[in-house]
Structure 1
Amino acid sequence: MRKLLIVFLCSIIALSACQSTLAITEVKSVPRDLQKILNVLGMEDYVQMINNGEKRSFIVINTKGTVTVSVKSKGDTMVINIDEVENQNNEVITQHIFKLTKDVNYEYTDLYKNGEQIPFDTVGAF
């Protein structure tokens, strides 16, 4: 019985270690260090990636529309999808900030806006 319990616990630990932690969530409160960088960069660029270590980045999108962002893994490539709905009546640019948590270091990062591949306007780190 004891051996069976040990095997069961080891299996649970092994399986939980294999779970992917690749995720993207909208930031409600901007970290002070990131805000300093954003103040310098301004809001002229559409999309910016600000890296904070190997496992975390921030994706900043400056737009007059509304956006939803998703991320998925495709082998050694991380794919970030931005779905934007433009608001013709809105004249004010809004800054949308997302925290990207990576499970591994990806060799490549592909960025798509409404299904079309686009480049990052700015890539930096803090």
Structure 2
Amino acid sequence: MNKLLLLFILILTGCNTGLVFSEVSMTNIPSDMQKSIESAKTENGCYLFTDEGKDMYVFLNGGNVIPGEEAAFFTDVKIEQHEDTLNIYFTENKTSEYSNEKLKHQLLYKITPHDSYEKIQLFRNGEPIPFDIVFEILKI
């Protein structure tokens, strides 16, 4: 039984695309990236940052609440590679509980791709949407 389980794990590991992603704190990113994200914080939206073609960052911002309107928060972020396409999925919900600290009104994900992609698709609540802005961060 243990040998069968080990074989199954090895097969799954061999099928790994090499795509690595994780939620990161906005304080644990390079300073040039941090400056760009700070400028994006002024407007709610979905942003894609690339770091000279190496890492990518997806920033979901719902932190700007208009008085009297509901605030956006994000859950269920999934990032998958399908052939030469990178798919990014998330759920956006709305709330009038502005002070609930458990809700994530801003999320930042770092993606370290294994391959280059012909297309990057973003899906909110299962529906395809465009990024609001795409930035390429150049190191000087």
CA–CA distance in 2 between the matches of 1:119 and 1:75?
20
Aligned residue for 2:95, secondary structure, equals coil
Aligned AA (1:73): Q
Counterparts of 1:94 and 1:35, CA distance in 2: 18
SS of 1:24 mapped into structure 2:
strand
User: Does residue 87 of structure 1 match 2:95?
Assistant: yes
Computing the radius of gyration from Cα coordinates, the structure with the larger value is: 1
Structure 1 residue 103 displacement after superposition: 0.8
For residue 109 of structure 1, the aligned residue among 108, 116, 120 is 120
Q: If the length of structure 2 is used for normalisation, what is the TM-score?
A: 0.68
Q: Which blocks of at least 5 consecutive residues in structure 1 are unaligned?
A: 1-11
Scaled by the length of structure 1, the TM-score of the pair is: 0.75
Deviations 1:42-92 (CA, angstroms, capped at 9, x unpaired):
331410000013231000001231323111112221111012232232279
Instruction: Give the gaps of 5 or more residues in structure 2.
Output: 1-9, 63-71
Equivalent position to 1:73, from 81, 88, 91: 81
- The two structures, once aligned, show a CA RMSD in angstroms of 2.6
> Identity across aligned pairs (percent)?
27
Total equivalences in the alignment: 112
Q: Which moved more, 1:35-44 or 1:103-112?
A: 35-44
**Mean alpha-carbon deviation: is it higher for 111-120 or for 40-49?**
40-49
Q: How does 1:1-126 map to 2 (within 5 A)?
A: 19-28=16-25, 29-63=28-62, 64-90=72-98, 94-126=105-137
* Matching residue's letter, 1:21: G
